[in-house]
Amino acid sequence: MEAEQHFLQLVKEQLERVERLKNKPAAVNFKDQIVIGYCSGDGIGPIITDATIRVLQKLLADELESKKIVLKEIQGLTIENRLAKNMAVPDDVLAEIKTCDVLLKGPTTTPSGGSAKNIESANVTLRRELDLYANVRPVILRDEGIDWMFFRENTEGAYVLGSRGIEISDDLVFDFRVITAPGTERIARAAFKYARDNGKKRVTVVTKSNILKKTDGKFWSVCMEVAKEYPEIQVDEYFIDIMTAKLLDTAERASFEVFVLPNLYGDIITDEAAQIQGGVGTAGSANIGDRYAMFEAVHGSAPRLIELGLAEYANPSSLIKAAEIMLRHIGFIDKANKLATILGEANQKIKVTGNVADSKCLDITEYILANL
Ligand code: IPM
Ligand code: MG
């Protein structure tokens, strides 16, 4: 039966992937020159990317002058080009991206299942192709003393075979969810290491292992193994449903510090956390691997704003926040701190919500530029 062949093929591919994960290459260090690639993406992407690049050009003026840092625009990661080539990330675009050390990526549009041309999400493809296994998303609520850090596993779970489900008949369809021990171990290690390096006392593992016994059961047990190497850190397991509730519990939520979780739970809960922080437009996201890293907004290309003709009201804060996290990643801590302070101030003073009653992308960008 065709479905059986398909399933056997998936198992074979995943077994090969596990072997590759076990023999991973050593992490690279940054060289004398750091190349930051950037792609504007779709929808509100170009307007918020333009704002972010202007901020980086000002903040990094000396480094750009001395060529310690190079900003390189990469064309072609647009829905039009991707549909024309029928590829989630066209080969020439991927090759260009791989010439850079890090990538700043504007939001890209993904056609949803059922639409005529069904290409995979560019995000998912890039995360897989560049092996960006740690999706690291900070959320800060100063008034409550909250400094959450989410470590979302970024290359497996519900996403790894998201485009490879099986349609047995009109009435019966399957999707697959994959958890591997080495894939879990590396995200767990990233979370615990972050906790140790940053004086955090608690790591919360989020699963639904009471129901998804194999996959989430494995995720939890591997996290527990890694936790043994970090005896000073308290580790606990929360189920995803109660976790979504606890994030709204103002009496308890400040006690959480670091979260580690499979891909789809991480996707969902980081939107919730971003909303608590002030909206998805305020949250940045890092996708980190051992060789490459990609920085982006938590949100998508906002087709609603485009349809309503409100692109200029898009909030660039999420992508500017992503740029701040990128600066930290490449070792420019002082510049990152400076940007974080000004961005925080800007968001206090200038409300950009996508509504005409509030400010525009340009207003908050000019404020940041004037204060850098
Ligand atoms: C995110 C986004 C992506 C995801 C989409 C755009 C594929 O929601 O980065 O959280 O689901 O991971
Ligand atoms: Mg998401």
The enclosing domain of 230 has a CATH number of 3.40.718.10
Kindly state whether residues 329 and 359 are assigned to the same domain: yes
State residue 96's pLDDT score: 97
Which of 279, 297, 330 is the C-terminal boundary of a domain?
279
Whether 231 maps to a domain, the answer reads: yes
Instruction: Name the least confident of 107-116, 213-222, 342-351.
Output: 107-116
Whether 15 maps to a domain, the answer reads: no
Kindly state whether residues 146 and 264 are assigned to the same domain: yes
Cross-strand partners of 35 = 70
Which of 223, 252, 279 is the C-terminal boundary of a domain?
279
CA separation for the pair 342, 326 (Å, rounded): 16
Whether 266 maps to a domain, the answer reads: yes
Q: For residue 43, which ligand has an atom nearest its CA?
A: 1
For residue 154, give the ligand 1 atom closest to its CA. Answer: 12
Q: For residue 271, which ligand has an atom nearest its CA?
A: 2
Strands 34-39 and 102-105: what pairing? parallel
Q: What's phi and psi for 39, nearest 5 deg?
A: -125, 135
CA separation for the pair 330, 116 (Å, rounded): 41
State residue 112's pLDDT score: 72
Asked whether 225 and 184 are in contact (CB, 8 A), the reply is: no
State residue 116's pLDDT score: 56
CA atoms within 13 A on the CB side of 341: 7
Q: For residue 297, which ligand has an atom nearest its CA?
A: 1
Average pLDDT rounded to a whole number, residues 198-222: 97
List the structure tokens of 76.
């072609």
141 class by beta-carbon count within 10 Å (0-12 exposed, 13-18 middle, 19+ buried) = middle
Mutate which of 267, 280, 296 for ligand 1 pocket (most atoms within 8 A of beta carbon): 267
3-state helix vs strand vs coil in the chain, percent to 5? 45, 20, 35
Kindly state whether residues 195 and 104 are assigned to the same domain: no
Where residue 1 falls among pLDDT bands split at 50, 70, 90?
A: confident
- The answer to whether residue 364 scores a pLDDT higher than 90 is yes
Neighbours of 229 (CB within 10 A): 12
What are 7-19's pLDDT values in tens digits? 999 999 999 999 9
- The answer to whether residue 293 scores a pLDDT higher than 70 is yes
What are 43-73's pLDDT values in tens digits? 999 999 999 999 999 999 999 999 999 999 9
* Structural domains in the chain (count): 2
For residue 266, give the ligand 1 atom closest to its CA. Answer: 10
CA separation for the pair 78, 150 (Å, rounded): 28
DSSP string computed for 299-366: S---HHHHHTT-GGG--THHHHHHHHHHHHHTT-HHHHHHHHHHHHHHHHH----SSTTS--HHHHHH
Which of 227, 248, 279 is the C-terminal boundary of a domain?
279
Closest residue by Cα to residue 160 from 11, 5, 8: 11
Mutate which of 77, 105, 108, 121 for ligand 1 pocket (most atoms within 8 A of beta carbon): 121
Protein residue with least CA distance to atom 12, ligand 1: 267
Domain range for 74: 31-132+289-372
296 versus 24: the higher-pLDDT residue is 296
CA separation for the pair 303, 318 (Å, rounded): 17
Residue with tokens 């290491």: 193
Protein residue with least CA distance to atom 4, ligand 1: 267
Average pLDDT rounded to a whole number, residues 346-365: 94
Residue with tokens 């701190």: 337
For residue 135, give the ligand 1 atom closest to its CA. Answer: 9
Cross-strand partners of 234 = 202
CA separation for the pair 66, 222 (Å, rounded): 46
- The answer to whether residue 281 scores a pLDDT higher than 90 is no
Kindly state whether residues 46 and 165 are assigned to the same domain: no
Percent residues over pLDDT 90 in the chain: 88
For residue 108, give the ligand 1 atom closest to its CA. Answer: 6
Protein residue with least CA distance to atom 3, ligand 1: 123
Q: How many residues does the chain have?
A: 372
Kindly state whether residues 231 and 275 are assigned to the same domain: yes
List the structure tokens of 266.
């991480």
Average pLDDT rounded to a whole number, residues 338-353: 94
Whether 22 maps to a domain, the answer reads: no
Q: What is the value of pTM for the model shown?
A: 0.91
